[in-house]
A and B are shown apart, each in its own frame.
Chain A
Amino acid sequence: QQQVKQSPQSLIVQKGGISIINCAYENTAFDYFPWYQQFPGKGPALLIAIRPDVSEKKEGRFTISFNKSAKQFSLHIMDSQPGDSATYFCAAGYGGATNKLIFGTGTLLAVQP
């Protein structure tokens, strides 16, 4: 019940295309869903996060879509750029309890020029 399932494991997108990464969770007590971006040789960094009181959150080209009834959330990267090539991790947790974050297994995104 504590798992966060992430797919796909890897993704290749052409420049200008839309990248979509999906995550699913089981624990209905989760109320905080962040996405982290990790470039090679670097640590993950918070990209965008959503709480279940909204169904969508957009920051620039990055959008989180949240489906509470399906217990799924996804990251959409519009107009994907080669600089977006990175590993993306979804996570789920309980409000501000950062010690309780459960991470997905990661998606390696490659945006081809």
Chain B
Amino acid sequence: NAGVTQTPKFRVLKTGQSMTLLCAQDMNHEYMYWYRQDPGMGLRLIHYSVGEGTTAKGEVPDGYNVSRLKKQNFLLGLESAAPSQTSVYFCASSYPLDGELFFGEGSRLTVL
């Protein structure tokens, strides 16, 4: 049972480039999330999805887009990367109305 899997684990981009982070979960969870983790800032919610075909903005959505075409996958896109988007990105999933989030191992993104 893999849980939540994120790809890629590391990526270096130049300013203005685009990329997509992929999250896959095998727990049949309805809810999926993308967080970013920065030193001294904790975990901040970027976007989330409460079901296939739905997405919603979190606390820091600017500069990111997401899609949830399949229940098990949640994609995070950066259309034009900026140095301020250098961060560690975590995907998570959960059942509805259940407090526990299950996180992936993170994707470290550096934007030069």
Give residues in A with beta carbon < 8 Å to B.
6, 9, 32, 34, 36, 41-46, 49, 89, 93, 95-99, 101, 103-106
Contact = CB atoms under 8 A, between A and B. Distances in A.
* A interface, over-half SS: strand
A98 B100 CA distance: 7
A49 B103 contact: no
B103 A45 contact: yes
A106 B31 contact: no
A34 B43 CA distance: 14
A89 B103 contact: no
B94 interface: yes
Interface residues of B, number: 27
Interface in B39-72: 40-45, 48, 50, 56, 58
Given A41-B105, A105-B40, A99 B50 contact: yes
A34 B96 CA distance: 16
Given A43-B92, A43-B104, A95 B43 contact: no
